Structure 1
Amino acid sequence: MIKVKQLAHVCIFANDLEATRSFYRDVLGLGTQFNFLRDGKIFGFYLDCGGRSHVEVFQKDGASYSDLNQINHFCLEVESIDAAIAHIGSKGVDVTAKKLACDDTYQAWIRDPNGVKIELFEYTEKSAQFVGGDRIADW
């Protein structure tokens, strides 16, 4: 039997690799773990999300995000949802208001320069991810 340890990475495509790197570095504070090189040029990179989790980014001209894509969004846990919202707003990025979701976890939403949806999470002591129990969806 296989035992999954954690989610290792999520891969996204970028129309503008350096604008995407700047967004994840300057807005979300994710540093570059390493670059992918081909013929001496950077065509992708790994971003450090803490622990052993990463976001993998590759240049793909003409890539566009749609709500019909198989992967709808990815989620980053933050220490303080309020601080994250304030910081992201100060960078001129649209961010939703904080909401206590039906799973008793605070959330807010943003999009990267490629339109990829990113959920920001701050867990609480009552978060279903830790205490279990079915929750009634409120969306």
Structure 2
Amino acid sequence: MLKLNSLHHIAIICSDYERSKRFYTEILGLEITQEIYRKERDSYKLDLSLGGNYLIELFSFPNPPARVSRPEACGLRHLAFGVTDIEESVKQLLSLGIDVENIRIDEFTGRKFTFFSDPDDLPIELYQE
């Protein structure tokens, strides 16, 4: 068995780099750690952190193929972020014009959660901690 220490990062390929960069930084509030343009690939790589923890690599590539994400396609199901006040988080997203599903209750933990999507329809969950 491997002795893993932690989840290091999640890599996301986006279709519109500037739109996704704004979404992950201005809406979700992730901090830019590093941004690199790789000329040989015509590609950006944006390293994003949350609370000082390296979390997401956001990539752009010319003409990436679309990936089916719903309904329940095989592969990455969603990204989940913990929040303290889910109702307030939903209000903020709605005020920014982002559609959010109704808040539900996790039948096993009794905690509140909901889903919305990033600009490429990648499902994102908010889970009340």
- Same-fold status (TM-score > 0.5): yes
Q: Which runs of 5+ in 1 are unaligned?
A: 124-139
How does the TM-score come out when normalised to structure 1?
Answer: 0.77
Structure 2 CA distance for aligned equivalents of residues 20 and 51 of structure 1:
20
Q: Which residue of 1 aligns with 2:117?
A: 111
Structure 2 CA distance for aligned equivalents of residues 19 and 9 of structure 1:
21
8 Å CA contact 1:14–1:63 kept in 2: the answer is no
Amino acid in structure 1 at the alignment position of 2:123: K
Structure 1 residue corresponding to 2:64, chosen from 58, 62, 65: 62
8 Å CA contact 1:65–1:114 kept in 2: the answer is no
Structure 2 CA distance for aligned equivalents of residues 69 and 35 of structure 1:
30
8 Å CA contact 1:78–1:120 kept in 2: the answer is yes
Structure 1 stretches of at least 4 aligned residues deviating more than 6 Å after TM superposition:
none
Q: Which residue of 1 aligns with 2:95?
A: 90
Shift of the alpha carbon at 1:53?
A: 4.0
Structure 2 CA distance for aligned equivalents of residues 44 and 109 of structure 1:
26
- Please give the per-residue CA displacement for 1:61-113, whole angstroms capped at 9, x wherever unaligned: 23423133511111111222111111111110001122111232221101100
Moved more, 2-11 or 101-110: 2-11
SS of residue in 2 equivalent to 1:12: strand
Question: Which has a greater percent of strand?
Answer: 2
Amino acid in structure 1 at the alignment position of 2:10: V
Q: Which runs of 5+ in 2 are unaligned?
A: none
Say yes or no: does 1:11 pair with 2:16: no
The CA RMSD measured in Å over matched residues stands at 2.1
Overall identity of the aligned pairs, in %: 24
Alignment length (residue pairs): 123
SS of residue in 1 equivalent to 2:89: helix
Structure 2 CA distance for aligned equivalents of residues 65 and 57 of structure 1:
16
Structure 2 CA distance for aligned equivalents of residues 87 and 65 of structure 1:
28
Q: After superposition, where does 1:1-139 map in structure 2 within 5 Å?
A: 2-39=2-39, 43-60=44-61, 61-67=63-69, 68-104=73-109, 105-123=111-129
8 Å CA contact 1:8–1:53 kept in 2: the answer is yes
